[in-house]
Amino acid sequence: MAVLLETTLGDVVIDLYTEERPRACLNFLKLCKIKYYNYCLIHNVQRDFIIQTGDPTGTGRGGESIFGQLYGDQASFFEAEKVPRIKHKKKGTVSMVNNGSDQHGSQFLITTGENLDYLDGVHTVFGEVTEGMDIIKKINETFVDKDFVPYQDIRINHTVILDDPFDDPPDLLIPDRSPEPTREQLDSGRIGADEEIDDFKGRSAEEVEEIKAEKEAKTQAILLEMVGDLPDADIKPPENVLFVCKLNPVTTDEDLEIIFSRFGPIRSCEVIRDWKTGESLCYAFIEFEKEEDCEKAFFKMDNVLIDDRRIHVDFSQSVAKVKWKGKGGKYTKSDFKEYEKEQDKPPNLVLKDKVKPKQDTKYDLILDEQAEDSKSSHSHTSKKHKKKTHHCSEEKEDEDYMPIKNTNQDIYREMGFGHYEEEESCWEKQKSEKRDRTQNRSRSRSRERDGHYSNSHKSKYQTDLYERERSKKRDRSRSPKKSKDKEKSKYR
């Protein structure tokens, strides 16, 4: 109960499960016997999954069972056998392909993967590959298109029945020999199965190496185009640019331009330097206006001594100056310096908690553009602080005052603000105002004390004066003449 399939890549032997799948095995054996599978294309190869064949049309939509050959179109398909259930566990399992209605025709598949559970219950397993797994592996690794059709034809050339336990049905037409293939069968529009694919046939070893180098360069160019380092895989470097290397680090752009200008006008001459340190990298690019001048310089200037160094000159292979879609172009040291300056600039926007100080600080940390507004806000916060602490003594205020000042001074120096001197003068001014206010307060208190003492002294003086007046009146009433004499003597 076995069948030998002769393919264009080698022979494959399939053992059949005649006891478990008698109807499917009968169909397969009798189709092989009438040479139905001869010259059938392997039309579906999905790597590590399946290999599908058995369709004489090669499209995957044709084929009929042996019962269709015997009884007509109404018997083109037969019902699938589902009992007993056999799973697609290992490579080389052979199954009849389901047409979508749980029916089978002539197409079958061979698995190239293990544990394909999603095929169980859909396609009916009726055999396995026992010999020729290396051929199955070759078919599995063939190149296919997007529809999984091999680029080069792989066909079943012949089928040989090794053991057939079933009797032939009546009216079964068995050919005496294998039929010849028709032109339509062999014309698939792809590379023929018997065609040799050898690009190096009839070529010398040098030509083969050159072709391989061109293919490798093309592959690398396509890769660079994919990652965005080249605008196009077929782009060519400019033919009017020379590459000069092995330069002395002291050689400058002007030196090279003067030396190479003897061959013709020069558009640009640039010694490539490290963008960070500005030191020469000992190679340069020189762009001429004409290609003829570039060729002259190439032949004359190679191995010339410049600044005690033997230079090497070659045509440039760089396309760095080609700009495309915002890419390419050259970057100089000045470009990176501008970028660093932009990164070092303070942001125009800051967080709210960074702008407003805490309750125990007396400075507003803001941007340089808002320095004038910071002065007014600072004076406002200092007034509030003074109102809260007016009951403290002068010495204690000074002690609390100085650490805050020093702390804010350090903060200003770390932040890089350029208005610390103005803030310091503002602090001195506020300190002097505070002292004046304290002195005025002490003066007012002393005045109040003086007023209190003067009022008490005045009232006492008025009382004494009043008593003296009363005593005088009494004296007058007692001796008026004597008092008059006293008055006269007073003004003498």
Q: Is 389 within a domain?
A: yes
Same domain assignment for residues 131 and 251: no
Contact criterion met (CB below 8 Å) for 90 and 114: yes
Q: What is the pLDDT of residue 203?
A: 81
Contact criterion met (CB below 8 Å) for 97 and 107: yes
- CA distances to 196, 288, 377 from 189, rounded to whole Å, are 16, 52, 87
∠ at Cα 313 (307, 316), nearest 5°? 130
DSSP per-residue codes, 47-84: TTTEEEE--TTSSSS----HHHHHH-GGGSSEEPP-SS
Contact criterion met (CB below 8 Å) for 261 and 334: no
Of 341, 369, 395, the domain-final residue = 341
Q: Is 234 within a domain?
A: no
Q: What is the pLDDT of residue 269?
A: 92
Q: Is the peptide bond before 84 cis (omega within 30 degrees of 0)?
A: yes
Q: How far apart are CA 244 and CA 284, in angstroms?
A: 5
Q: Is the peptide bond before 249 cis (omega within 30 degrees of 0)?
A: no
Same domain assignment for residues 182 and 127: yes
What is the count of structural domains for the chain? 3
Model pLDDT for residues 19-76, shown as the tens digit of each residue: 999 999 999 999 999 999 999 999 999 999 999 999 999 999 999 999 999 998 899 9
Contact criterion met (CB below 8 Å) for 30 and 172: yes
Same domain assignment for residues 304 and 404: no
Same domain assignment for residues 310 and 364: no
Q: Is 57 within a domain?
A: yes
Q: Is 449 within a domain?
A: no
Same domain assignment for residues 306 and 425: no
Q: Is 111 within a domain?
A: yes
Q: What φ, ψ does residue 94 adopt, rounded to 5°?
A: -110, 130
Six-digit token string for 1:
């109960």
Contact criterion met (CB below 8 Å) for 237 and 315: yes
Q: What φ, ψ does residue 198 adopt, rounded to 5°?
A: -140, 100
Q: How far apart are CA 36 and CA 63, in angstroms?
A: 9
- pTM for this one? 0.48
Q: What is the pLDDT of residue 316?
A: 84
Same domain assignment for residues 87 and 172: yes
Same domain assignment for residues 287 and 427: no
The pairing of strands 280-288 and 266-273 is antiparallel
Kindly report the number of other CB atoms within 10 A of residue 34's CB atom.
17
- CA distances to 20, 104, 166, 167 from 78, rounded to whole Å, are 16, 6, 17, 19
- In this structure, what CATH number is given to the domain that contains residue 280? 3.30.70.330
Same domain assignment for residues 18 and 163: yes
- In this structure, what CATH number is given to the domain that contains residue 125? 2.40.100.10
Task: Return the SS3 of 35.
Answer: coil
DSSP conformational letter for 263? G
DSSP per-residue codes, 224-259: HHHHTS-S-TT----TTEEEEES--TT--HHHHHHH
**β partners of residue 191:** 152
Q: Which domain holds residue 335?
A: 241-341
Q: What is the pLDDT of residue 407?
A: 46
Q: Is 346 within a domain?
A: no
∠ at Cα 308 (260, 259), nearest 5°? 10
Q: How far apart are CA 324 and CA 43, in angstroms?
A: 44
Same domain assignment for residues 15 and 104: yes
Of 163, 186, 209, the domain-final residue = 186
Q: Is 77 within a domain?
A: yes
Q: What is the pLDDT of residue 366?
A: 46
Which helix (H) or strand (E) covers residue 428, if one does? helix 420-478
Q: How far apart are CA 279 and CA 187, in angstroms?
A: 67
Query: At 133, which amino acid appears?
Result: M
Rounded (to 5) percent helix, strand, coil in the chain:
45, 20, 40
Q: What is the pLDDT of residue 444?
A: 61
**β partners of residue 78:** 104
Instruction: Enumerate helices (H) and strands (E) in the chain, giving the number of each.
Output: 13, 18
Cα dihedral across residues 354, 359, 364, 365: positive or negative: negative
Of 420, 441, 462, the domain-final residue = 441
Q: What φ, ψ does residue 64 adopt, rounded to 5°?
A: -145, 165
Which helix (H) or strand (E) covers residue 447, if one does? helix 420-478
Q: Is 226 within a domain?
A: no
Same domain assignment for residues 10 and 156: yes
Six-digit token string for 20:
């478990």
Q: How far apart are CA 252 and CA 229, in angstroms?
A: 29
Q: How far apart are CA 13 and CA 132, in angstroms?
A: 6
Task: Return the SS3 of 316.
Answer: coil
Same domain assignment for residues 303 and 160: no
Same domain assignment for residues 166 and 61: yes
- Taking the chain (492 residues) in runs of 10, the rounded mean pLDDT of each run is 93 96 95 94 96 93 92 92 93 95 95 94 95 96 94 94 92 88 84 80 84 85 70 73 93 92 92 90 92 92 92 82 46 53 61 50 47 50 48 44 45 48 62 73 61 52 67 60 47 46
Q: Of 305, 301, 278, which is closest to residue 288 (Cα–Cα)?
A: 301
